[in-house]
Amino acid sequence: MGRPPCGDKIGAKKGPWTPGEDIILVSYIQEHGPGNWRSVPSNTGLLRCSKSCRLRWTNYLRPGIKRGNFTEQEEQMIIHLQALLGNRWAAIASYLPQRTDNDIKNYWNTHLKKKLKKVQTGVDGQSQDGFFSTQSVSKGQWERRLQTDIRMAKQALSEALSIDKLNSLTGSKDINLSHPYLRPSLSQGSTYASSAENISRLLENWMKNPPKPAAHQTNSGETMTQNSFNNTMTAGSSSSDEGAFNATTPEAFDSFFSFNSSNSDVSHESVSVDQNANLTPENSLFQEESKPNLGTQVPLTLIEKWLLDDSSAQAPEDLITMTLEDSTGLF
DNA sequence: AACCTGATCAACCGCCCTTAC
DNA sequence: CGTAAGGGCGGTTGATCAGGT
């Protein structure tokens, strides 16, 4: 039969994560890096299954996550990509480095689907939104447009691959500048801090409703980790609770997210939020986990152009004659 | 003020793919 | 090659919140 649900065997805790659990998880990943999720619950004492830990990390705690308000640009990218890729949220998310697939999926289901429906059922078919106005084109036009888009994506992909090939041949580590993470316009300095902000917000909430002592986990492993975290958080401050909670200030998080290079067996540099205004996920400890490897993906520069330039629908004859069957091999 | 309803989003479930043995 | 386990992904659920009545 099927595998039992994650965590069933150990009676793992379910439901919303507490700030304390978040802290333990982040603290652990700070030390060991993401990956090997199976060992996370046992090593941290968290009463969560490995899958839950991974999900919590990738969808919420991971550095570089931007939350809330999607920009119109992001919205249009999602709509275009959804039309092209379908509900392949992870693939779509790879073009929006600051968003998680879960976030995009939720946004699609709650906002965009509704918005599209409204437009499609609307009498006028007109919208202030530039993209939606393009949805009213005839099916034939739309199909041709899609074919063109696919062809452009294919072209871009081959270019990206050729660059990768070149890089590997030359042994150059630097790189395909088209990689979304390497593009300053998208990988803004705030991305890393945003995770600290997430946790800061959590802790602020936690401060408002601090857990009662009785609610504290008694698991020895967790206690150990919590202590180590507290040591990190309270370093240089008084030992009072208030002192500990000073860790919720940005400065304290700077400290918290300053990685000790000695803790890492990889060559990432030790970094902190404040001294790296241009810090991006790719040079953080978490870089390899931050997003799927996009090394073979379409350069975002082209993708962006393709996605956002609604006037780029014109295409040479040969592009238009490309069949959808031809394009299926792309994906 | 109380209740209802819809919107939002974090988290879970189950399936599938990949990888190690 | 077959099997088991880990990890990734998309679909779905349920708790919470906001706005309306």
Q: Is the CB of A11 under 7 A from strand B?
A: no
Please say if the pLDDT value at position A23 is more than 60: yes
Predicted pLDDT at A200: 57
Evaluate if the CB of A288 falls below 7 Å from strand C.
no
Would the pLDDT of A235 be above 50?
no
Instruction: Convert the pLDDT of each residue in A247-304 to its tens digit.
Output: 333 333 343 333 333 333 333 333 333 333 333 333 444 444 444 343 334 444 555 5
Decide if A121 contacts A114 (C-beta within 8 A).
Answer: no
Host H or E run for residue A290: helix A287-290
CA distances from A115 to A71, A76, A132, A135 (A): 15, 12, 9, 12
| Predicted confidence (pLDDT) at residue A9 exceeds the cutoff of 80 | no
Report the C-alpha gap between A134 and A315 in whole angstroms. 16
Residue A150: both structure tokens together:
């696919």
User: In chain A, which residues from 108 to 167 place their CB closer than 7 Å to nucleic acid strand C?
Assistant: 109
Instruction: Kindly tell me if the per-residue pLDDT of A34 is higher than 70.
Output: yes
A19-61 folds as: Arc Repressor Mutant, subunit A (1.10.10)
> How far does the CA of A298 sit from the C1' of B13, in Å?
32
Sorted by where each begins, the domain ranges of chain A are 19-61, 67-119+140-153
Q: Separation of CA A36 and C1' C6 in angstroms?
A: 9
Distance, in Å, from the CA atom of A279 to the CA atom of A108, rounded to the nearest integer, reads 29
CA atoms within 13 A on the CB side of A325: 0
Q: What's the whole-model pTM score?
A: 0.58
Q: Is the CB of A107 within 7 Å of strand B?
A: yes
Q: How many residues does chain A have?
A: 331
Given this model, what pLDDT does residue A276 score? Answer: 36
Is pLDDT at A107 greater than 70 in this prediction?
yes
Chain A span 45-74 residues with beta carbon within 7 Å of strand B: 48, 51-52, 55-56, 59-60, 67-68
Query: Under CATH, to which class is A67-119+140-153 assigned?
Result: mainly alpha
Task: Check if residue A51 sits with its Cβ under 7 angstroms from strand C.
Answer: yes
Pair A30, A231: CB distance under 8 Å: no
pLDDT digits (tens, 9 = 90+) for A37-74: 888 888 888 888 888 888 888 888 887 788 778 888 88
Does the pLDDT value for residue A218 go beyond 80? no
Residue A316 — left, alpha, or beta (φ > 0 → left; ψ -120 to 50 → alpha)?
Answer: beta
pLDDT of A12 above 50: yes
Q: Is the CB of A89 under 7 A from strand C?
A: yes
